[in-house]
Structures are given as C-alpha cells and as structure tokens.
A and B are shown apart, each in its own frame.
Chain A
C-alpha cells in the first residue's frame, strides 16, 4: 500500500507534457554507478496487516507487563483529560507546518503564545520560548545560554541531577570546552550547599539545580538563590512542572533560566518521547534565548495577530552566529500541554498537586513502617522518594515484579554507592488499591 493517487492515464499525460517516455528518464542525472539495483525491503502490506502487527506489539507489552507501576525518574504516569488528545488530534493542528506564513497559521501561533504565557505563569518567569525538544536538551541549551550571558568557563552540576540529563549537558558543551563540576548531595538528599558555595567562583557560568532532584528531594531554592544572585553566575533551575502546582517556582527565588520537561502535563509516556522541553527566562536576556518565540502584533487593519519574532537570533537568519541550531521543536506537544493546563485550571492543578503529595506520602509512610525498609534521604519530597534496604535493589525489584508490581528504579544502575536504593514514584493515578498492592508485595518479601 502506498499513498500516490496517480492513475496510469495521469502518468501518461504528465510524461507527455514532459516529453519523456518513462518516469525512469527523470532520474537520468543519477549516474548508472549509483543506481540501486535492489532495495532490500519486504513487499508492502495492507493497513489491516499493519494494524495486526502493531496490535501484536501492544499485546506483547501487556502480557509481560506489571499490574501496577511506580516508575518515575524523569517520565511520569499522570492523568490526561480526554480533551487534550481530542484537540491535538485535529488535522488542522497536527498536519500543519511551522507557522512561517502567519496569516494562515494563527491557530498554531495563538496556541504557542498561550503556551509561552502559561510557562511564565507556572515558573514565575518573564518570558518563555515556543518549546525545546525535551527537558534534557532544554537544560543543555540553558547552560549554553548562561555562557552567552557571562562568558563563564565552568558549570556546577549536582550529582543528584538526572544522570541522563547530565550526559546530555556534557554532549552539548563539548564543542565550547566547558568544565563540568560535580556538586555532591548531603544527607538530606539535597545539594551540599557548603561545597556549592566553595565552588562558586567568578568563572562559573551557571549553577544548575533540579527541583525536585533525581531522588525526588526538594531543594532549598531560597538558599541557593541567595548564594548565586549576588554574582554574575546564572541560576539555572530544571523543574518538574507538576510540582509547580504545590511548590514555589524558581522565579520567586531569582532564577535566571528555568527549564524542564512538560511531559507530566498531559503527554503519554510513549517509551520516552515525544515529550516537550520548556524554556523560560528574564526579559533582559530574551535576545540570548534559543529557539522560536511567538509575539503579539497587529495586521495592516489594526487587527490583533501573532507572529514568530526576534528571529535575528535564529539559524535561518544568523547562520553560524545563531544562538542555537534548533528550528523544528515540539509544537504539537506544547499544544497538548497548553490544553492540559487550560483544562485543569488553577483549581484542578492544585487538586492534582495535592493528590500527588498525599498519595506519595501515604505510600512512603506505609513502606517505611515495614521492617528493614528505610527512607534514604531526610529531605522533603514531592511525589518520588528513595527507599533503602539491606539487599541489592535489583534483587528486591525482581522479587516485587514476581508479584506483578514494578516498584521503582534501581538506583545502582546510575550510582554504585546506591545499589541498595530504589526510587519509587506515586502519582495521582495510583489509587488506594494500587498502594495496597505495592505495600502487600513489599510485606510479602
């Protein structure tokens, strides 16, 4: 099956216009030596067969899968109201291109403008862009922007930053030769402020803080802000946006750049993507920001309209002097986040935040009441926490899986010193019955 509508008559007519006898002649510029004799792919199939194939994949996941999952670690299983997928499934949204022609792209542009506004509201920041690829690349671009702001040569990264995010930052900064300095965690699980203070030199381009951090622990943004805001160093915060329903945003503490991944706000897990990065900053720095930005203006009749703006920062104008090479981003995912936030509103957002807070704390209290199960870190958490036992996490998790529960992430995968630790996430979607199943499984070990 393919999607070409040409009949034999159409082709004959078109070849007649071109004055050639076969379509093959149109490939004459390709030297014979480069012609592919045989494309090593199977025959095409019908839609019915294709659907059966993907259904078999889905069946495979379901048959192997756990009954209840408590995985987080940068990707979260939250509830998404039906209107979210319904709206982004409109062909006028998902089959449109980047809004280069604003007169025929006002829908996409307005959705982006609303997205930018909502990200500013959530993060407490002044300006936001139209989106980045994901949380990790948004953080990497934030570090690059910090260097544009102050020409620093090193960046402080907490060891409690998501390990994948750290790897992405390292890949992005290799071209400019930035030094990465690891800041350890303290007993609370939060950044060790004494080390941070010591490493905060005049050459430091950025201090990065993840909130909550990879261990689910909430950082003391106020104290970090107090340290960094007196310097030229940029204060870069990477936040889980769901936490901003209940936790004060980095904008309140003087952050210069706030980034994160919008996945928790209405996007499916989808084995890691597509998600959407968000990127917010201060008005004073807007011309140093990467990515597309939508702005409000008027048309020749004075009617309100929206356009992509401040484009002299971007690759299609500035080429090798652009602030980033990003062009296509994750607009449809940003639209989903926008519809999600409009659907939950301030009251629904508060409710879902409280549900995350209380369900996760109820699970934490019940589990740490069991013999041999301890909370690893003393710091406050939002919806994820680290449990420690006397046994290898990989073995404990395998035993819990036997009972149909995917109880968390083996932190030994990322930190050898934490091989007895498990990162467990409890979102609003984990019901009381799910919690009972988790607690019963632990108790049966």
Chain B
C-alpha cells in the first residue's frame, strides 16, 4: 500500500457547506488515519516485561492527548491515541506496529521506544511510507533522511552527549586518567563511540562494561578505582548510576564523576544515592528536571505540573520519563497543528522537518528544536551542569552536539 491519498470528498463537501469562510476553500487532504473529526496516532512502548518502567511514557502521552482533546483537539480534530505493548521485544514490536498500520490504520507511528524495536520496524515503516515519528532512543542512526526519509529522532543522540563530555575533559582536565563504565547494550556502546570520537584518540580510556542483569556493579567500581583513574564517566541507567555514586563514596574514591543524562534525575537517582555523595557530579541536560527545586516556579514547568495534577495525578514527578513523554507529545501536537488541513503522511514528515526554534515547556532555556530536510535530529543542544547542594547548577553555553553523518 503506497500512501493512499484519499481526499474525502464527502467530508470536504460537508465542511464547505458549514463554513463559508476561506478555510473551506483550502483543500483538505487526508491519508489513512485522519478525518475531519479525528487523527489516529499509533504508539508502542513496553508496558510489560523487564523494561516496563518506560510504560510511564505511554501513559503520560495518553494523558497529554486527553488534555488536548478536552481543550478542543487540534484544528478541531480529536486525537485518538492507540498504544500497544511491545514488551521490549523486537518481534513483538513488528507485530504490534503492523497491527497499528494495517488494522487500526493509524496516520503515524509516534515515539516508539528502544533501539532494537525501532531497528526492527524501520524498514517496514519506510517501505509503507508511514512516518516513524520522534523515536524514543538516542541512537545516532535515526538522523538519516537520505536512506530513511520516514524516520526521525527526537532527543539528543547518545553520541553527541559523549562528544560534549570528551570536549569538556580535554579542555578542563587534559591530563586526566579516564575510566568509563558503560552498560553493554546499544545505549552504552553508542555513548562510548561518541566519547572516543570526541577524544580523537588523544586520551586512552579504561573501559569497563556491565550487564543489566547484574544485581550490583560494586565490583566494577572497585576494579576501576584500583586503576588509579581520577575521572569516572558513568554511562549507566538510573539504578546503576545510583549504585556507582554510592559505592564510589563508600570506598572513598574521589574521582570526578560524569553521569549520563538519562541518569541525572535529582529525585530518582541522586537523592537515593545520597546528596552528600553526589556533590560535584557533572552531567549535561536538555530538559528541566521536575524534581529539581530550581524549576518550581518556571512557567513552563508550572504548566507541566498543572497537567500532572489534572490529567495524570498518579504520575510520579520524580520520574524523568514523565517529563520526557510530555515533551515528546507536545512536539507531536505542534507539528499536527502546523499541518493544518493537509493531514497526509508526506506533509507530516515535511512539517516535522520544518521545526524552527520550537521550545516545548519542559526544555531548558535556550534549548530549541530545529529540523530541516537534511537534519532529522530535533534536539541537538545540551548544557553542562554540576551538582551542588540539592540541585544542578547549569554552567557554560548551550552546546550543540551535532554529529555529522
């Protein structure tokens, strides 16, 4: 099935009859999944299985679209959000995405999570010319409009974040002995590549990997301390990041620690690890941290909190996935708005590649979403920050971590 460009003649006629303004003259164009009343959005995320922690993203987005609908929808159309469980298994992801496209007939597949799942569905969606919109993974490969014109990323790539740390260290601590602890999966490996590219071979890294199945990573920290390294780059997911921070403090290892953005949450990583152990920690961010006291009165975050109170009261504010889902959903709402009455898949990709200085409520001041026909990496900016007291202090400029293709 190529993009079936159905012009709903009947709908258009009715609309022309009702509205006599100029909008009626603007031609309405729809693909499967869009009508005068409704836009159907498909979504997959693990609700069950070992990665079910991410299910919160799906629930947040569902709540966000409920809010949109309660406020009249987008250009008069309600969002119908169909979200399925892929249990973080690539074969299941293929099954569910095919169900979304072929049975539920959604307009786009939005924010599918995880590098393996997205890799599994990428070819299919591009062959079907269905947008694979704002994928929820930081792998660099999603920014490839030449080969995959229907796939577009959202968050900064892991590699670009890795480069930023490398550049910082080369400038501030050129003689450092650097240890890297990374998770042995696509996330860890991509980061590591970014770091190595950033150092351009000017520093030798002591690499140590761990598996997600390990109950604790204490022994890795002990081993890395014994190497005499004075910098630890911790490319870890939240639980392991907290363990690393705590263990390093316990064994009195006073290395400068850099923690990956995914694990920089004040409430769900640093607080459990102990604020006293987290002082001086470095990281980089693109979004505001809902558990960081400095954003309590920020207008954008106030909107976010108001949304949580009304539409997702059971959502945990400490969970960075909630902030994430809100930002991604807001970006989708923005491009649907930009599409106007031309709700074809081609136009959605066109608008997604046409974002200029868009700032969702939850992004850091100065971080803007920009895309173009050759740049499918929406968020590319990050700012370095240092943990002090009970909050992050942002410092330096907002850095663009563009990774050339």
Is B one of A's binding partners?
A: no
Chain A residues at the B interface, C-beta cutoff of 8 Å = none
